[in-house]
């Protein structure tokens, strides 16, 4: 594998965890999963006052702590695949916080971001809103029952906007709307070939048929 540190990103339900598992198995890499336990998450989904800011700060500090552990450990001694990038925190902050909260958030984020490692390659998984909703519902997680269709749609647009402007690392954009790399060996092998061929800059992988459902990564 050309890259020692790969991060897989994308909105909820797109298949990040599954791809991390498959990549780690294929390349004999260590897998790192984001710690999703957050005591403010239920209140946030219930739209309770102040919960968004509390939830966001908890996630920010939790992600920072985990990334610090990577930086201080033997991150580059073995290949590593992670299911998020630290910068994704800003996607949720700008989606959920008001202006005064964002001002405080940005000050803290700016201090923390300078201290975290950056991946050698980011893989951004896309899917249409309806595909994400179907995948979320099919896995039947209790805390995800409270997620609205509107929130999924807004989050999906926010992810597309973020990665349209992303240039921190090499970026491979994969439209997963019309493929199933978990169940289809052919889809998975083609995905592996795309990753193996990745060099620098931004590259797009839109499987045949994917363009039927939407425009892909476009400016919102």
Domain coordinates of the chain in residue numbers?
A: 5-212
CA distance 90 to 88: 5
Q: What is the mean pLDDT of the chain?
A: 85
Length of the chain equals: 220
Q: Is the pLDDT of residue 169 over 80?
A: yes
Q: What are phi and psi of 27, to 5 degrees?
A: -105, 10
Lowest mean pLDDT among 37-41, 55-59, 139-143: 139-143
Residue 122's φ and ψ, nearest 5 degrees, are -115, 130
Instruction: Identify which of 50, 171, 56 has the alpha carbon closest to the alpha carbon of residue 122.
Output: 171
Q: Which of 83, 85, 84, 105 is nearest to 94 (CA)?
A: 105
Q: Rounded to whole angstroms, how far apart are CA atoms 11 and 160?
A: 9
Res. 218 pLDDT band, cuts 50 70 90: very low
Count helices and strands in the chain by DSSP H and E runs: 8, 6
The structure tokens 């797009």 sit at 204
Quick: pLDDT tens for 5-49.
Answer: 999 999 988 989 999 999 999 988 889 998 888 899 888 878 788
C-beta atoms surrounding 9 within 10 Å: 23
Does the model's pTM come out above 0.75? Answer: yes
CATH homologous superfamily of 5-212 equals P-loop containing nucleotide triphosphate hydrolases (3.40.50.300)
The pLDDT > 90 percentage for the chain reads: 44
Q: What is the average per-residue pLDDT within 135-153?
A: 77
Residue 213 has pLDDT above 60, yes or no: no
- Binning the chain into helix, strand and coil, the percentages to the nearest 5 are 50, 10, 35
CA 93 to mean position of chain CA atoms: 14
How far is residue 196's CA from residue 2's CA, in Å, rounded to a whole number?
7
């Amino acid at each position: 594998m050309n890259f020692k540190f790969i991060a897989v990103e994308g909105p909820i339900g797109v298949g990040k965890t599954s791809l991390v598992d498959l990549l780690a198995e294929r390349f004999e890499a260590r897998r790192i999963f984001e710690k999703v336990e957050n005591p403010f998450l239920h209140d946030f989904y219930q739209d309770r006052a102040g919960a968004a800011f509390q939830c966001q700060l908890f996630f920010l500090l939790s992600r920072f702590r985990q990334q610090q552990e990577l930086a201080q450990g033997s991150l580059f001694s073995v290949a590593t695949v992670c299911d998020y990038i630290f910068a994704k925190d800003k996607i949720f902050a700008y989606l959920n916080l008001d202006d005064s909260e964002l001002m405080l958030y940005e000050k803290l984020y700016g201090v923390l971001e300078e201290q975290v490692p950056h991946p050698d390659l980011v893989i951004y998984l896309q899917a249409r809103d309806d595909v994400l909703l179907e995948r979320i519902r099919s896995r039947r997680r209790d805390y995800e029952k409270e997620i609205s269709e509107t929130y999924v749609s807004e989050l999906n647009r926010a992810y597309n906007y973020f990665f349209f402007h992303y240039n921190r690392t090499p970026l491979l954009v994969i439209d997963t709307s019309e493929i199933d790399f978990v169940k289809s060996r052919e889809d998975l092998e083609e995905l592996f070939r795309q990753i193996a061929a990745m060099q620098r800059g931004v590259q797009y992988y839109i499987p045949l048929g994917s363009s039927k459902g939407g425009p892909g990564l476009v400016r919102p």
